[in-house]
Amino acid sequence: MNFTSHFVGISLKVELFENIFEKIKNIFGKNLQKIIELQSMDSLHITLYYLPKKLKNSDFQKIEKIISEIDIDFGKINVKELNYFGKNIAYLSFENTEQLDKINNIFKNNFPKYNEIIDNSYNNFIAHTTIFKIKNYKKFLEHKAKVEKIFSEEISKLTKENIFGNIHIYAVSSNTSPEFQKIIN
């Protein structure tokens, strides 16, 4: 498979999100793929730092070393709400993300050459989990209130659970739908 990029992210416990995804599928029914594209359940994650298409072996090893030295208390990080990047992406936001911000800064400081990657170049890092891409915004608006109700009900359940897995390096192929993401370390 040809990978189009890589990133560092925190895996999430997929089983805790299955109910949300099923409810979203039920709202859109047979029109789901015409209106939104759900994130693959196989690779739910919080994106921490974007990496290029090709990673040098020395950079890969350095990233693995940094990951192995990260000590994070996930108990302080909570799911906040469903939010949007413009009209294209629906994502879960988090609160108490100071630790995630620090991790992002560790990678920015250790890999300044990757800070030019568009998603690393924003002034403010936003820890997020992409839930779906919006393909038809006008049609999505017809269902938006129902989708947001699901999240307002389910987020309180998620905040009672440890939803976090481990920090990994992911490889991405944007040539598939949904986008294919695979843990490679």
What is the tens place of the pLDDT at every residue in 101-121?
A: 999 999 999 999 998 887 766
- Where helices occur in the chain by DSSP H, the ranges are 18-28, 32-35, 57-69, 98-110, 137-141, 144-158
Q: What is the pLDDT of residues 6-23, one digit of tens each?
A: 899 999 999 999 999 999
Nearest to 110 by CA among 150, 157, 61, 159: 61
Q: What is the pLDDT of residues 58-80, one digit of tens each?
A: 999 999 999 999 999 888 899 99
Give the burial class of 77: count Cβ atoms within 10 A of its Cβ; 0-12 exposed, 13-18 middle, 19 or more buried. buried
145-149-152-156 Cα dihedral, nearest 10 degrees: -170
CATH code 3.90.1140.10 for 5-183: yes
Average pLDDT, rounded, for the chain: 91
Q: Determine the residue type at 6.
A: H
Q: pTM of this prediction?
A: 0.88
Please give the Cα distance from 131 to 155 (Å, whole number): 13
Q: Taking the domains of the chain in order of start, what are their residue ranges? A: 5-183
Per-residue pLDDT, averaged over 139-167, amounts to: 93
pLDDT for the residue numbered 1: 66
